């Protein structure tokens, strides 16, 4: 197993890359509604693997999009099986939560990747469709975290749940005080999310230790990093995809 295709299927975006000896190649991202666009990538990966089927390793929090990926893979890379984290191989991190099977695979894979880096207490903040703040103890145990709506979801909820508030797109640099309705919404969404993350990191550190390292990941991580304390600005966009590679390689070693 020198190389394989790794695919992370989220609620909004799918990310794909070829992993060679545990190292991710260039990552491509497409909206989940356009997973068909991954066909050309899979065809190329199949050709580069010669006549042998290339392993396709996936993690998903979106069952419908995962099934679409299976169909695309069947046509683009005949003979290649889509091997799914948790369904076909385990995610090698211990957990101490009430319902382990209901914890999103993305949360566990991000925690696994962070643990591999720090070998101790750490906190992963994934800023995507939803924002998750996930804590790992000094003993390497996933102990849970918090979940709240992401920036776009908050903006959409305001537009759909009120009569007059407009739809907005959260800006990278929101105003401190909005001078228009749109600007006020953006300021509230971005600053509110950053404040929530700060509070949740502080709360998590009371559980796993004050020196717990923090990593940000997800599509809106860079947008929020500047609003967080300096020790909470380590942005790693491919953290969860890297965790998928770690989990699969560990399983294949057995």
Would the pLDDT of 167 be above 90?
yes
Would the pLDDT of 196 be above 90?
yes
Query: Mean pLDDT across the stretch 101-105?
Result: 96
Considering the domain architecture, whether residues 183 and 219 belong to the same structural domain is answered as: yes
What tokens were used for 136?
């790992």
Q: Which domain holds residue 230?
A: 94-239
Residue 253 lies in a domain: no
Instruction: Give catalytic residues, as residue numbers.
Output: 106
- Domain end among 60, 84, 108: 84
Count of other CB atoms within 10 angstroms of residue 245: 21
What tokens were used for 59?
């993690």
Q: What pLDDT is attached to residue 51?
A: 62
Considering the domain architecture, whether residues 56 and 127 belong to the same structural domain is answered as: no
What tokens were used for 5?
């295709």
Which of 82, 7, 4, 3 lies closest to 37 in space, CA to CA?
A: 7
Quick: pLDDT tens for 90-101: 999 999 999 999
- Positive or negative, the CA dihedral 30, 35, 37, 41 is positive
- Rg over alpha carbons for the chain, rounded to the nearest Å, is 19
Considering the domain architecture, whether residues 235 and 137 belong to the same structural domain is answered as: yes
For residues 38, 35, 59, 252, the Cα torsion angle rounded to the nearest 10 degrees is -30
Would the pLDDT of 16 be above 80?
yes
Quick: pLDDT tens for 24-80: 999 999 999 999 999 999 998 888 877 678 899 999 999 999 999 999 999 988 888
Considering the domain architecture, whether residues 188 and 100 belong to the same structural domain is answered as: yes
Whether the predicted model's global pTM rises above the 0.85 cut = yes
User: Mean pLDDT, the chain, as a whole number?
Assistant: 94
Residue 248 lies in a domain: no
Quick: pLDDT tens for 213-250: 999 999 999 999 999 999 999 999 999 999 999 999 99
Considering the domain architecture, whether residues 79 and 147 belong to the same structural domain is answered as: no
Considering the domain architecture, whether residues 128 and 234 belong to the same structural domain is answered as: yes
Residue 118 lies in a domain: yes
CB 244 within 8 A of CB 85: yes
Considering the domain architecture, whether residues 108 and 140 belong to the same structural domain is answered as: yes
Considering the domain architecture, whether residues 126 and 226 belong to the same structural domain is answered as: yes
Q: What pLDDT is attached to residue 1?
A: 55
Residue 246 lies in a domain: no
Please report, for residues 49, 135, 186, 243, the alpha-carbon distance to residue 118 in angstroms, rounded to integers and kept in the order given: 34, 13, 34, 13
Would the pLDDT of 254 be above 90?
no
Query: Mean pLDDT across the stretch 109-129?
Result: 97
Quick: pLDDT tens for 133-145: 999 999 999 999 9
Q: What pLDDT is attached to residue 172?
A: 63
What CATH number corresponds to the domain at position 54?
3.30.420.40
Split into its structural domains, the chain has a count of: 2
Which of 68, 66, 101 lies closest to 86 in space, CA to CA?
A: 101
């Amino acid at each position: 197993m020198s190389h394989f295709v790794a695919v992370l299927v989220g609620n909004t975006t799918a990310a794909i890359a070829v992993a060679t000896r545990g190292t991710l190649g260039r990552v491509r991202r497409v909206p989940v509604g356009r997973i068909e666009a991954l066909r050309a990538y899979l065809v190329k990966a199949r050709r580069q693997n010669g006549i042998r089927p290339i392993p396709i390793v996936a993690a998903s929090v979106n069952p419908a999009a995962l099934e679409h990926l299976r169909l695309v893979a069947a046509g683009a890379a005949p003979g290649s099986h889509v091997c799914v984290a948790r369904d076909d191989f385990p995610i090698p991190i211990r957990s101490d939560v009430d319902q382990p099977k209901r914890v999103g695979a993305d949360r566990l894979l991000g925690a696994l990747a962070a643990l591999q880096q720090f070998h101790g207490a750490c906190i992963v903040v994934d800023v995507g469709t939803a924002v998750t703040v996930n804590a790992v103890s000094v003993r390497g145990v996933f102990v849970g975290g918090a979940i709240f709506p992401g920036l776009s979801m908050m903006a959409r909820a305001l537009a759909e749940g009120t009569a007059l508030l407009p739809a907005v797109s959260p800006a990278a640099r929101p105003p401190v005080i909005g001078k228009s309705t749109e600007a006020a919404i953006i300021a509230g969404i971005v600053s509110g999310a950053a404040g929530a993350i700060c509070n949740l990191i502080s709360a998590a550190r009371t559980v796993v230790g004050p020196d717990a390292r923090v990593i940000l990941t997800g599509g809106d991580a860079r947008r929020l990093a500047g609003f967080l304390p300096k020790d909470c600005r380590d942005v790693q966009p491919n953290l969860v995809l890297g965790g998928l590679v770690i989990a699969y390689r560990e399983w294949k070693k057995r």
